[in-house]
Amino acid sequence: MSHGTLVLVRHGQSAWNLENRFTGWVDVDITDAGKAEAVAAGQSLQSSGIEFDEVHTSVLRRAIHTSWAILGELQMSWLPTFRSWRLNERHYGGLQGLNKAETAAEHGDDQVHIWRRSYDVPPPAAPADDPTVRDRRYAGVSAGDLPQSESLALTVARTKPYLDAEILPKLQSGKNLLVVAHGNSLRGIVMSLDGITSDKIPGVNIPTGLPLVYSFDDRGDVAQRAYLGEPSRTQSAQSELDGARPG
């Protein structure tokens, strides 16, 4: 049986992307521009001819609403959809809601760069009563698993069990999967699939609303990965990804 195809899409532009604020687990929605990005992603996938079997998203509405717009373009709104907190964005702790430029002015560019772009340094923790995790959608999650802050390394560790248990086995069975999530949770998946090292993955940016298509050989190894969309948006992202891969 041939391997399925995996398509990764970061949600369309969110309201706090536009306002340059740390978002993390705060449940903000996509903007009109983000909706347009999602529609364009759906159109690119429609042209690709990929027939999906399942959709997987985080439990945050910017990913959910992006998936709805994509499926609307594909006329596949009926597809089985699975949602998991493990696909959520990186938890930015006490930085969530803050403007990035103002935070840099207060703490210094170097410190904010470490919080944002290092692999294993988390931002300051959110308060113990952080409302973003004390939400009904996380009622079934062990309190010890819910973060107060995450580095990229912790985000990768949170995402990997879902990749191993819910995504890779279904690809191996021949299913084509659409995963709509977030920049950092998707970087965790990309890191695992492509064997990208911890010193390289912080430099890989996943653009909003651009489908990243993975195809596999019969052994399950990545045969090809390519962004779909306008070359003006895909070229730099593809170059970053190709440059980070070993060998």
Q: Which residues are catalytic?
A: 11, 89
Q: What does the alpha-carbon distance between residue 166 and residue 190 come to, in Å, rounded to a whole number?
A: 15
Is residue 233 classed as helix, strand or coil in its secondary structure? Answer: helix
Number of other residues whose CB lies within 10 A of the CB of residue 23 = 23
Q: For tokens 């391997």, what's the residue?
A: 3
Angle formed at CA 42 by CA 39 and CA 45, multiple of 5 degrees: 155
Within the chain, where are the H helices? 15-18, 32-48, 61-74, 100-107, 109-117, 152-162, 168-172, 183-194, 231-244
Q: Are the C-beta atoms of residues 201 and 218 closer than 8 Å to each other?
A: no
Q: What does the alpha-carbon distance between residue 151 and residue 164 come to, in Å, rounded to a whole number?
A: 20
Q: What does the alpha-carbon distance between residue 221 and residue 244 come to, in Å, rounded to a whole number?
A: 17
Tokens matching residue 164: 């191993």
Pairing relation of β-strands 177-181 and 6-10?
Answer: parallel
